[in-house]
Amino acid sequence: MHVVVNAAMSLDGKLATRSREPVPISGEADFDRVDALRSEADVVVVGIGTVLADDPSLTVGDRGRIDGRRAADRPPHPARAVVDSRARTPVDAAVLDGEAASYVLASEAAPQSRIDRLEARGATVVVAGEDRVDLPAAFAALATHGIDRAMVEGGGELLYSVFDVGLADVVSVYVGSVILGGRDAPTLADGVGFDGDFPRLTLESVERIDDGVLLEYTLGEPSVAG
């Protein structure tokens, strides 16, 4: 599966405020870029922390892109997937609003009663991993549902794991001209941190958008010419 990580961070590397309040980090042009990326994906993936903090719907906004997907014989919106070990996704969460297919990627620690409630809301629950979600296994399960292109939007705990298990192929980061601060604010990669074996990336492009900068990377070190 091809996996694109996309996030917007402040100049000091934060995805949100210390109280996990969403803040506009980018502007209209970048929102439109993110909408286009979503429209290319088969699934948009977030962690349960993001669902609980922001309650995003993760659908495509632009009518032309929705029509384009339909014309290509694809569903109007990509599926949504929540990485959620204990199946804590609220049944009234926007990702379960019926606008698109919904997956909850849970672990064996999820109580069956919560799985049943999510399935009753129309979600497909994938169980992978004992205590936490085994991301490679969960993504492999998504692939069996015909999902070839994933866009992972965050937050920082999930993105750390995505880097840790080597799932990301492309990383797009919008760096906005704002400083949020806070040692407890989520960053692009939280988790326990790497002690060595740091993921290395190759910078593919730099572009000014709105009043910030879009950085695009592929995973792996640049190949040495010659």
Task: Give how many residues touch ligand NAP by CB under 6 A.
Answer: 31
Asked if 186 interacts with ligand NAP (CB under 6 A), we say yes
Binder of ligand NAP out of 3, 60, 81, 135 (CB under 6 A): 135
Query: Residue 42 or residue 84: which is nearer to ligand NAP going by CB?
Result: 84
Q: Which residues pair with 103 in a beta bridge?
A: 81, 124
Asked if 168 interacts with ligand NAP (CB under 6 A), we say no
Residue 58 to residue 79: CA distance in whole angstroms? 9
Query: Residue 186 or residue 212: which is nearer to ligand NAP going by CB?
Result: 186
Q: How buried is 207 (Cβ within 10 angstroms: 0-12 exposed, 13-18 middle, 19+ buried)?
A: exposed
Binder of ligand NAP out of 5, 46, 79, 142 (CB under 6 A): 46
Asked if 30 interacts with ligand NAP (CB under 6 A), we say no
Residue positions counted in the chain: 226
Asked if 48 interacts with ligand NAP (CB under 6 A), we say yes
Asked if 110 interacts with ligand NAP (CB under 6 A), we say no
- Per CB under 6 A, residues contacting ligand NAP are 7-8, 15-16, 20, 22, 25, 46-50, 53-54, 83-86, 88, 132-133, 135, 153-158, 161, 186, 190
